[in-house]
Amino acid sequence: MAALRYSGLDDTDSEDELPPCWEQRTTKDGWVYYANHTEEKTQWEHPKTGKRKRIAGDLPYGWEQETDENGQVFFVDHINKRTTYLDPRLAFTVDENPTRPTTRQRYDASTTAMEILQGRDFTGKVVVVTGANSGIGFETAKSFALHGAHVILACRNMTRANEAVSRILGEWRKAKVEAMTLDLALLRSVQHFAQAFKAKNVSLHVLVCNAAAFALPWSLTKDGLETTFQVNHLGHFFLVQLLQDVLCCSAPARVVVVSSESHRFTDINDSSGKLDFSRLSPSKSDYWAMLAYNRSKLCNILFSNELHRRLSPRGVTSNAVHPGNMMYSSIHRNWWVYTLLFTLARPFTKSMNQLAVRTLHLRTI
């Protein structure tokens, strides 16, 4: 049909093809009606199938609905720089009494972050993403922002965070996105972030605990804890505790903790099976960077599971996710050996846009 072709969508359903002189239109509230230009009449039923239909889902990515000076609704395609009075969602109409789908949306290793949110509208939702100035965090934040969410990039380096905000606004000038200071290696900074966020008097629907450090040389934070443990786990743990009341008041809400499959290759218990706190924040003589990372990721999963057990009755869901094999990130920048290994393996791994899929998918299920 002409409407579908104009929207860049092919008509593949011959049953719904309109007879000559008929036109498909939509009302402001999403119902489809049909105009017969020969007989100068309109009707709700499709002239061939007799079915009544309505618009399904949200506008495609890059489209926006506006109203002209006469009060008539039209649609703006920001990607292709064009406008039309034909609703691009006419390709996705459903029967008036649809049956609930029995299958979920499928995705595979090649699916990108933007594709996983296709058709979703997060207008009115508030999302906080830690470590969002690059990598998975940036792709996650960008995807939420370009689908209408109010996104806060919680980052240590404000120069890079503001650059990330500018990149998102460069793709869509109306995106609601901002940066706030959060240094997970300093518990006082975590507390200041929580206070500043609460001062905004907004809800919090999604909190993505994404920031992480990898292959760091041994060091202690100003709080006296091993840096990898505090940045990857304890800082996020403290942040969630401080924002827990906001999450519950915003229910349904979700916490997504970005962990790693490497959590399987470590243990935090001693020989008797009890928790060994010395393994969480080890001394310099007992420190191995890879093991410290693995233990912090195990803590992420244990924390997420317990958080879900405690808060799910109050409408807050918590999930831990392994994003996939990650070689495009700068997380390996602290040691040249890891940089070399990551570079050699890069052709066989996913891009950052693909790695963000699992984080985003958890918010859509």
In the chain, alpha helices (H) = 2-6, 113-116, 135-145, 158-171, 187-199, 227-229, 235-249, 277-280, 289-311, 336-345, 352-355, 357-364
Angle between helices 135-145 and 357-364 (to 10 degrees): 40
Residues 6+ apart with CB under 8 A from 204: 126, 128, 197, 243, 246, 247, 250, 253
Angle between helices 235-249 and 289-311 (to 10 degrees): 20
Catalytic member of 6, 61, 107, 293: 293
Q: Is 293 a catalytic residue?
A: yes
C-beta atoms surrounding 10 within 10 Å: 10
Backbone angles phi, psi at 207, to 5 degrees: -120, 115
Residue at 331: amino acid letter: I
Residue 105 DSSP label: P
Active site (catalytic) residues:
293
